[in-house]
Chains A and B, each alone.
Chain A
């Protein structure tokens, strides 16, 4: 079965740019979606289909997918962006969702 690999933690200073990666052999051939989760809260979709943003998500959040790595980029990072971020794909071969292990973003 496929695995999505995320770095456990990323630290960034306020106002800087954070790049969170999601790697795996399945990544390049599937759409990657990203969720933000703050402690005690449900996940919030921040990027879908590699690079699209749901309504209400700031333009500071952007995504890309190339080769075997997808990247969530958060520009002009704010204290309120501190959270866990999970990448997710739909493995259509096994018809199930796969999640990465999550990255804790510290601001």
Chain B
């Protein structure tokens, strides 16, 4: 059974940092691209970032570029999102999602972890 379990969400002050993790199981983690997608409670989904299978290629939404860093440890089947210089508008539930390379969609999502940024 494919499972994605996020953790690391917390309440943090504006300007602070946080690292999210997503532990994968039930599939070949190293063979898949991985994404972070966020959702303000009650609002729509917004794509945040993507990393390719070996971690060498990444991309980010303009709203987080330069502040967030996506990475992965294939030996640990774990995806990360390092979030720095956090803003109130980063408050959201963060989901990790798996993409079979090049398909452009995700059939498997985690349950999400809540990040709250306040002053």
Residues of A within 8 A of B (CB): 30-31, 33, 35, 37, 41-45, 48-49, 54, 86, 88-90, 92, 95-102
Contact = CB atoms under 8 A, between A and B. Distances in A.
5 contacts: A31-B104, A42-B95, A42-B110, A44-B109, A102-B44
Interface of B: 35, 37, 44-47, 50, 59, 61, 95, 103-107, 109-112
A45 B44 contact: no
Given A42-B95, A43-B95, A99 B107 contact: no
A95 B58 CA distance: 10
Contacts of B105: 31, 33, 45, 48-49, 88, 90
Contacts of A48: 103, 105, 107
A102 B50 contact: no
Top 4 A-B pairs, shortest CB-CB distance: A90-B104, A97-B47, A33-B105, A42-B109
B98 to A, nearest CB: 11
B44 A99 contact: yes
Contacts of A89: 104
Contact of A97 (B35, B107, B110, B112): B35
Contact of B47 (A45, A92, A99, A101): A99
Given A42-B110, A48-B105, A96 B61 contact: yes
Contacts of A99: 37, 44-47
